[in-house]
Chain A
Amino acid sequence: MDSKQSPRRRFLKNASLMAGLAVGAKQSASGQTLKSETSEARSKDLHAYGDRSRFVKSSRAGSLGLWPPAAGPTRDYGFRTPLQDSVGIITPGSLHFVLNHGQEPPDIDPGQHRLLIHGMVDRPLIFTLEDLQRLPSVSRLHFLECHGNSAMSAPNRALRIAETATVQDTHGLTSCSEWTGVLLSVLLKEAGVQKGATWLLAEGADEVKHTKSIPLDKATEDVLVAYGQNGEAIRPDQGYPLRLLVPGWQGISNVKWLRRIKVVDEPYMAMMETTRYPSLRPDGKSRWFESEHGPKSVITRPSGGQKLPGPGFHEITGLAWSGGGTVRRVEVSTDGGRTWKDAQLQEPIARKAHTRFRMEWNWDGSEAVLQSRCTDDRREVQPTLAALAKIWGVNMDYFQLAGTVDMGNFNAIHSWKVNRDGSVRNVPV
C-alpha cells in the first residue's frame, strides 16, 4: 500500500469524493450541494446486469463537434472520459472515450464475424471468435489515448484553452482498461510469416473499413487481438467483438471491429495515416507514423471547474502514463513548477497503463498553481510547454495563434490554478 491512511479510511474518503463529484465537475467537491431527486421508474432488471446508483451522474461528453454538423441526423464526433470523477486506474467500459470519426459502431453478430489473416504468410487463416477464445489468452492493463488528446488545435481549441475547461475537456481522450485476448504474435506464428515481411495492415468492419499500417516489429512485441475489456466483452463502441490493442501507440492504430490482417512488406499509406494523422509543423514538413505516446500526466483532482470548500487538507491525485513503458516517477508542484515533490504511485504499476499518483496537500488558502510531471523507465521526462516547443522547433507565440497548432502526441505539463476562493481554473499556456 502507498497510503499512510488505513484502507478503510481511504475508502470512505473516496466514497465521499465520489458523492460530491456525482453532480459534475462544476459543483463543489464537498458533497454539500447534492439534493435527492425524484424517483424514476426502473424498467431494467438490475439483478441481471447491474446499474450504478441513480445519484451518480458522471458521464462522457460529446465535445468534439457534431458530425455531420449542419444537416441530417447529427452525431457527436467523439466522447470524452470524465477524468475528474475517476478513482483508481480503470475506466469503466461505459465511460471509455470514443472517437469513431463520426461513424456509428456497426452492430456485429459475433457468430458471423471472422478475422482473416493473409498476405505474406505460409498459411492464410480465418478465425471465428470461438476459435480465438480457444487459444492461449492474456489479460493486460493498457491505456488508450487519441493522438489529438489535449492538443491545442481545431476543432476543440476553444474548449481546450478556455479558463473554465475541465480535465475532461482538456485530457478526456485517454482511458485505461484491462484488455483480454490473444497475442497477435501467436496468430502470426500460426499463419507463418514469410521472409521479407516487415509490416501488417489491419482493417476494421466499420462503414469506411478503417485501415492502419503497423510495423511487424511492434505487432510481434506486445499487440493483442482483444475480445475482453474489464472482465466482459468489449463494448460495441470499442470494437465488439474484436479489436486490435496496440499498447502505448496512438488510438488510430487500435483498429476496432477487426476483420482482417494482411502481412505486407511496406506501409500501405491508408487514408488516415497519410492525410489526417501526420503532425504538420510550421515549415510545412509533416511527421507521419509518430506512433508512440510520450510520458504524460495530469492532475485529476483538484482540477478545472472544481471548487475547494476551504483551506485545509486536500489530496492531490491524478494519472500518469507513457507509451514507452512503465511510469517510474511522478512529481507534483503546487507553485507552478518552481519546486517539486515526489508523489506516491499506486500499485500495480503496469507497462503502458494509467498509473494513479497521490500527494497530501495542506492548502493555506493562497493562490496555487498545480502541476505534475511524469518520468518513465527509459528516463524520458514529460516536457514543459517550452521544452515541447523546442522539440517542435516553434517559439511560444505559436501556441497563442488560433488554429495553428496541428501536432499530435501533445504531452506538455498541465497547470491548474487554485484561486483564493477555492475555484480551480485551466491555465492553457
Chain B
Amino acid sequence: MYRSSALVPVMALAACAAAWAQTPSYSNVGRSPTTEEIQAWDISIGPDGKELPPGSGTAKEGAEIFAKKCAACHGPTAEGTPLGPRLLGGKGTINTPQPVRTIGSYWPFATTVWDYINRAMPQGQGGSLSANEVYALTAFVLFRNDIVKEGDVMDAKSLPKVQMPNRNGFVPLRLEDIGDMKKRGCHGGHCP
C-alpha cells in the first residue's frame, strides 16, 4: 500500500506517491471545481511568496490603517493590550529565561505576517482587507520592528526577500529537512 518505510528518503516517497496517484477508483463522487472557485479559496502564501497577489504598500500608509483597524486590540503603539498580542519588542530575549516571542524577535518569515493578516485580521473580519492594505500593514509592522525602512515598498517581489531576524533560530534550518522526523533523529516526541 502507500505506507512508506521509515528509511525511504523524501524524493523516493514523492516518486511512490506519483506511482499510485494516477487512476481514480470511484466514479461520480465529487466534482471538478471551477478555476474561479479555486482562486477564491486559494489564499495561502508560502515562504517563497510565489502566491502573493499584485499590490503594494509602505509603513507610512500602514500606520493610518493600523490606527483605524488594529490599534483597538494591539494598542496604538502595537505593544499589545489584553485584547491582542504585542507585535513588536522582545529583541534579545529569545535565549533568556523570559523569552518574548513577537514578529520582530521570533517570526522566521515575513510572508507569514502577510498571510495571517490577510486571512484572519481584523479579528472577526478576516479576509476584509485589500491586498494593498495587507502589504501596507505588513510593512508597518516590519518597520516598527526595525526590519524595513519607513519608505520601503512591500510587494510580491520585495516581501519574500525580507530577512527576518530570527530566521536562523530554528533546527533544522532548511525547509526540505523538516518533514523527515527519522532523518532528524527525533525520538519519543523530541528532536535533537
The chain A residues found within 8 Å of chain B, CB to CB, are 68-72, 116, 118, 121-128, 131, 134-135, 185-186, 188-199, 201, 203, 207-209, 211, 215-217, 220-221, 259-260, 262, 264, 266-271, 274-276, 278, 280, 282-295, 323-324, 380-383, 388, 391-392, 401, 403-404, 406, 409, 411
Contact = CB atoms under 8 A, between A and B. Distances in A.
A58 B181 CA distance: 39
Chain B binding surface SS class = loop
A289 to B, nearest CB: 5
B169 A193 contact: no
B29 A134 contact: yes
Interface in B177-192: 178-181, 186-192
A189 to B, nearest CB: 6
B101 A268 contact: no
Contacts of A383: 188
Contacts of B22: 122, 192
8 contacts: A126-B32, A126-B33, A190-B26, A197-B14, A217-B10, A221-B3, A262-B42, A287-B190
A270 B13 contact: no
A190 B14 contact: no
A391 B190 contact: yes
Interface string B101-132: 10100111101100110011001101100000
Contacts of A69: 82
B95 A284 contact: yes
B2 A264 contact: no
Contact of B29 (A68, A131, A196): A131
B107 A274 contact: yes
B145 to A, nearest CB: 13
Interface of B: 1-4, 10, 13-15, 17-18, 20-26, 29-33, 37-38, 41-48, 73, 81-84, 94-95, 97-99, 101, 103, 106-109, 111-112, 115-116, 119-120, 123-124, 126-127, 169-171, 175-176, 178-181, 186-192
B18 to A, nearest CB: 4
A68 B83 contact: yes
B120 A207 contact: yes
B13 to A, nearest CB: 5
Nearest to B116: A271
Given A207-B120, A285-B169, A404 B33 contact: no
Given A124-B33, A282-B95, 7 more contacts: A68-B82, A124-B38, A196-B14, A197-B14, A198-B179, A278-B170, A294-B187
Nearest to A391: B190
Contacts of A126: 30-33, 37
Contacts of A289: 178-179
Contacts of B10: 198, 217
A269 B84 CA distance: 21
Contacts of A260: 41
A209 B21 contact: no
Nearest to B125: A207
Contacts of B24: 123, 189-190, 192
A290 B186 contact: yes
A24 B116 CA distance: 41
B112 to A, nearest CB: 6
A118 B38 contact: yes
Nearest to A196: B14
B188 A324 contact: yes
Given A72-B83, A283-B95, A221 B4 contact: yes
Given A216-B14, A286-B170, A274 B108 contact: yes
A123 B73 CA distance: 42
Contact of B190 (A123, A217, A290, A404): A290
